[in-house]
Structure 1
């Protein structure tokens, strides 16, 4: 069975294509979203999802979130005595989603369609694929997140006019312009910002209130890691409250002292002006690249949890001169679209009339040298061959000539990116071609790039003077680990003590209660402490019926204490 997976910065979700429609997969807690969070207990057990998220305020050194932002880099984190890179952390989330899908369907999951931000580069895409392999999944295809959302929306509406998908999540921002006609879902252009999301709005909110809640600088004495997590959690709660009210409280408790202030939506909007401005550039670029005027758009479809913020929706309304379409569930659309793609790959009869076309998200080209007009030569320059947002599959050719007298070889280096200097782009591969020694400019070579929907780039370099042709194939998984390396990393993760599936609910509730104990003071704190003791006693009985009843009572008590369920 092939499933669709939305591997998100804040939350992840899985869906399947069943009986002609996409169906979201509930996790062990019955929730459709699984927090992208990993935590390690004192006993060395790994917690995934809500159980880990609930521990973050109380165990910030043992918990990690938002690691999607570092996938494809060398950055790592230490949990307990073990270092994890972003691929391994993502693999733990993917493995949990795989287990949830198998429990939900009763079938074995062998493959997956995993979504990625449209503006993920080659390194980030390969790292995501490797994470899937470590999790025991055959990654059938990587699909751009706004493309997946457009696939779900397009099938529902069968719109004939172009629409724009505005996808602002916890850590990334993507834009895609899509047309649907006669069953073809065609992506016209994609753009985005991989370093813009809800976490950045949280950071601005923290900067806004930090001096107000602590004019005496008492918090300077706090552990910086613990303080950072307290502030982040408070910012997240305040930002969500401001999605429903014009004013909200920002409050933390440290060293049995409460630090608080009120924040208005207008204050947050002013403070976030620069972030809101950054939303414009990807939109304008996608409109230019698609050659579509804003008036021609039939809809602006909102995707991603951060689009719930009123300040974002107001910015979108001003940007487009209309109200956006909020009928699609912002947290579910990407996973639902990934399941549609899974159904397409499985050749489901219900999708016989549906076709998906995508675009090349980044420009592909080679490194060249040029005369600088003063008798010198400037090297390290980028020469595009396939421009970004070219519909794929695509094949383009560029013609080049030698730069030196009696030059005997051309070293062709392939890059991905938009910068003029190749040093700012992503190197994909290289090859060397022998050429006959002649005066500069007298030997020409033709370089053909062919790029398909699987992410494979086929490079053919031909020297017409000699008839020699060299070929380089750069695949989305070209530097995928060997089977042995994958097995070793998979075994290393499997060796970690993962909390049993049936205990996930208990771990999540226990972590939530621990967070409440630290958040409240006085009688409320004492009361939560007694509740924790009672629940621990129920766990010690190992009687499922007693544990279930105790868990339900604890959840009800915490819901009443907090006023609403903590999300």
Structure 2
């Protein structure tokens, strides 16, 4: 029996270089939906063409002819305040451009499945901070989606892996995509997926490997042509070099060498690119991923994880032979290539399915217990009530009970991608420091309350400056290592003595959203901050982008 009475939540892997969309079909199987060109992945490239936006392969190919009309690698600019793409006198934000990619995926998916794309789970790099996550959510909203959640890419892959491999294990998810790199330690145990530690760099990916090849091809052309005319200085030739570099990289996945023809200034020169030369050119990039992996393993070990059962390779760039070879030689841990192009989108779809079923069960528990849905807590609800709700949801929606239980019992625990703290005065040195109340890799959700003290008698206010940082210690003395993401002023009652206590509470939810409370305990005066980053697109820009986007043709 079809189970389409349960809301379909689509999973979207919004990638730096390629994106794809998946859903759980009527048979309960996660499936990636091809685009109208018949491909399972769509290049994350947008061409501006008057009132139309061309997304995907055609836009990527047209970048050679129309470099000023084409935007690519947009994911790298998510959350950046200053970055804009100007076309016909209008500035476009990364969020709006990303929304075109999302709409292309949605339009094609609806045509192929007949199901409108409304509810989505979108993935992002584990190392994305608050600004980048907010930007990803806004991109989905501009595209017209109800964004159920933003989930980390390695976590999504682990959800998919855990669905297929139920034995208890600790895995390292090595996720090297087109523009980002994540390394994440994840424990899979009794259906629970727990992120232990994560690290990475959202500006390191396959595109960096391509850049090294582009430079090599340009240098070889100059040498062979006996010319000082650098091909990479010409916009059209440079675009062609990028395409040739990516194609050459792909060829070297299966072959030891490949021939690349570079045409510039009327001269066409054949250049041989061997896998050995490719590995030599890009070894410094691979070493960066190894450094991140070592650091993340060390972070996991501080939390009591010393044994790792497997390294899962996720992301298209892990197909490069150098990756698996280096990992095997360095860590002596079994390496498994796990559906590198599709695992993230499929895992997001599975997680979306879980959210949809959880909603049904929450509604049913509210009916059974007479509670308001908002007050239902699945973790504290008696097991007998949960089981009854699972049975009735399965029966009401034509689902198999074991499938409902599997999705509902699945738990996903993430960790903080960054540390978060406030600026306080060190009473010993009388210098400002960052005091972190949440540390990177703390399990989510997390809540921490600390007491600080006023500096002066009769102090009238306390300013809470909230900083995001990459530090691993509670106290950071170099203020330049933090980036301010919010602030608020707490007004104090009169006649307070020096060293009067002020309580500060940080609450970071499972999606990485930060809520802060500052409280003066005597008068109970308090101030609350819901961190809405000032970086990235403004609310006015988002509204204008949504209005503008609705009038555009996406193809």
Shorter-chain TM-score above 0.5 = yes
Contact 1:110–1:137 (8 Å) recurs in 2: yes
- Partner residue in 2 for 1:260: 270
Alpha carbons of 1:413 and 1:135: their partners in 2 closer, same or farther (altered >3 Å)?
A: same
- Partner residue in 1 for 2:17: 10
Once residues 397 and 8 of structure 1 are traced to their aligned partners in structure 2, the CA distance between those partners, rounded to angstroms, is 37
Once residues 328 and 144 of structure 2 are traced to their aligned partners in structure 1, the CA distance between those partners, rounded to angstroms, is 43
What is the Cα deviation at residue 323 of structure 1? Answer: 4.4
Q: Which deviates the most, 163-172 or 388-397?
A: 388-397
- Partner residue in 2 for 1:90: 98
SS of residue matched to 2:357: coil
- Partner residue in 2 for 1:389: 441
Does residue 78 of structure 2 align to residue 71 of structure 1?
yes
Contact 2:103–2:554 (8 Å) recurs in 1: no
For residues 330-356 of structure 1, give each alpha carbon's deviation from its aligned partner in whole angstroms, at most 9, with x where no partner exists.
010100010011101111725123121
SS of residue matched to 1:118: coil
Alpha carbons of 1:4 and 1:187: their partners in 2 closer, same or farther (altered >3 Å)?
A: same
Contact 1:27–1:34 (8 Å) recurs in 2: yes
Once residues 536 and 286 of structure 2 are traced to their aligned partners in structure 1, the CA distance between those partners, rounded to angstroms, is 37
Q: Which deviates the most, 272-281 or 137-146?
A: 272-281
Does residue 143 of structure 2 align to residue 135 of structure 1?
yes
Contact 2:231–2:237 (8 Å) recurs in 1: no
Alpha carbons of 1:472 and 1:76: their partners in 2 closer, same or farther (altered >3 Å)?
A: closer
Does residue 541 of structure 2 align to residue 496 of structure 1?
no
Alpha carbons of 1:479 and 1:224: their partners in 2 closer, same or farther (altered >3 Å)?
A: closer
Contact 2:219–2:230 (8 Å) recurs in 1: no
Alpha carbons of 1:139 and 1:476: their partners in 2 closer, same or farther (altered >3 Å)?
A: farther
Alpha carbons of 1:477 and 1:183: their partners in 2 closer, same or farther (altered >3 Å)?
A: farther
Given the alignment, which residue of 225, 244, 255 partners 1:234? Answer: 244
What is the Cα deviation at residue 402 of structure 1? Answer: 2.2
Once residues 473 and 382 of structure 1 are traced to their aligned partners in structure 2, the CA distance between those partners, rounded to angstroms, is 19
Alpha carbons of 1:323 and 1:228: their partners in 2 closer, same or farther (altered >3 Å)?
A: farther
Once residues 288 and 99 of structure 1 are traced to their aligned partners in structure 2, the CA distance between those partners, rounded to angstroms, is 44
SS of residue matched to 2:162: helix
Structure-2-length-normalised TM-score: 0.83
Contact 1:456–1:476 (8 Å) recurs in 2: no
Once residues 383 and 415 of structure 1 are traced to their aligned partners in structure 2, the CA distance between those partners, rounded to angstroms, is 9
SS of residue matched to 1:360: coil
Q: Which deviates the most, 200-209 or 165-174?
A: 200-209
Once residues 517 and 69 of structure 2 are traced to their aligned partners in structure 1, the CA distance between those partners, rounded to angstroms, is 49
- Partner residue in 1 for 2:357: 347
Alpha carbons of 1:133 and 1:402: their partners in 2 closer, same or farther (altered >3 Å)?
A: same
Once residues 89 and 535 of structure 2 are traced to their aligned partners in structure 1, the CA distance between those partners, rounded to angstroms, is 32
SS of residue matched to 1:398: strand
Aligned pairs for 1:157-196 within 5 A: 157-196=165-204
Structure-1-length-normalised TM-score: 0.81
Alpha carbons of 1:237 and 1:385: their partners in 2 closer, same or farther (altered >3 Å)?
A: same
Once residues 174 and 340 of structure 1 are traced to their aligned partners in structure 2, the CA distance between those partners, rounded to angstroms, is 21
- Partner residue in 1 for 2:64: 57
For residues 120-155 of structure 1, give each alpha carbon's deviation from its aligned partner in whole angstroms, at most 9, with x where no partner exists.
111111111111111001111000010101110111
Contact 1:62–1:80 (8 Å) recurs in 2: no
Once residues 457 and 284 of structure 2 are traced to their aligned partners in structure 1, the CA distance between those partners, rounded to angstroms, is 51
Once residues 21 and 356 of structure 1 are traced to their aligned partners in structure 2, the CA distance between those partners, rounded to angstroms, is 20
SS of residue matched to 1:455: coil
SS of residue matched to 2:546: helix
Given the alignment, which residue of 205, 222, 235 partners 1:225? Answer: 235
Once residues 84 and 485 of structure 1 are traced to their aligned partners in structure 2, the CA distance between those partners, rounded to angstroms, is 9
Unaligned 5+ segments in structure 1 are 500-567
SS of residue matched to 2:253: coil
Alpha carbons of 1:189 and 1:294: their partners in 2 closer, same or farther (altered >3 Å)?
A: closer
- Partner residue in 1 for 2:517: 460
Does residue 453 of structure 2 align to residue 401 of structure 1?
yes
What is the Cα deviation at residue 199 of structure 1? Answer: 0.9
- Partner residue in 2 for 1:306: 317
- Partner residue in 2 for 1:425: 482
Unaligned 5+ segments in structure 2 are 1-7, 359-403
What is the Cα deviation at residue 280 of structure 1? Answer: 2.2
For residues 307-346 of structure 1, give each alpha carbon's deviation from its aligned partner in whole angstroms, at most 9, with x where no partner exists.
11112222222231244101x2101010001001110111
Once residues 222 and 237 of structure 1 are traced to their aligned partners in structure 2, the CA distance between those partners, rounded to angstroms, is 17
Given the alignment, which residue of 155, 166, 185 partners 1:147? Answer: 155
Given the alignment, which residue of 529, 535, 548 partners 1:472? Answer: 529
Once residues 155 and 425 of structure 1 are traced to their aligned partners in structure 2, the CA distance between those partners, rounded to angstroms, is 38
Once residues 98 and 30 of structure 1 are traced to their aligned partners in structure 2, the CA distance between those partners, rounded to angstroms, is 14
- Partner residue in 2 for 1:538: none
Contact 1:4–1:113 (8 Å) recurs in 2: yes
Given the alignment, which residue of 319, 322, 326 partners 1:315? Answer: 326
Contact 1:294–1:320 (8 Å) recurs in 2: no
Does residue 421 of structure 2 align to residue 369 of structure 1?
no
For residues 6-44 of structure 1, give each alpha carbon's deviation from its aligned partner in whole angstroms, at most 9, with x where no partner exists.
000111000112232211111111211111011134x65
- Partner residue in 2 for 1:112: 120
Once residues 106 and 30 of structure 1 are traced to their aligned partners in structure 2, the CA distance between those partners, rounded to angstroms, is 16
SS of residue matched to 1:391: coil
- Partner residue in 2 for 1:416: 468
Once residues 288 and 413 of structure 2 are traced to their aligned partners in structure 1, the CA distance between those partners, rounded to angstroms, is 28
Alpha carbons of 1:7 and 1:479: their partners in 2 closer, same or farther (altered >3 Å)?
A: closer
Contact 2:45–2:60 (8 Å) recurs in 1: yes
Once residues 277 and 129 of structure 2 are traced to their aligned partners in structure 1, the CA distance between those partners, rounded to angstroms, is 35
CA RMSD of aligned residues (A): 2.5
- Partner residue in 2 for 1:519: none
Contact 1:161–1:180 (8 Å) recurs in 2: yes
How many equivalent pairs are there?
Answer: 491
Once residues 10 and 342 of structure 2 are traced to their aligned partners in structure 1, the CA distance between those partners, rounded to angstroms, is 14
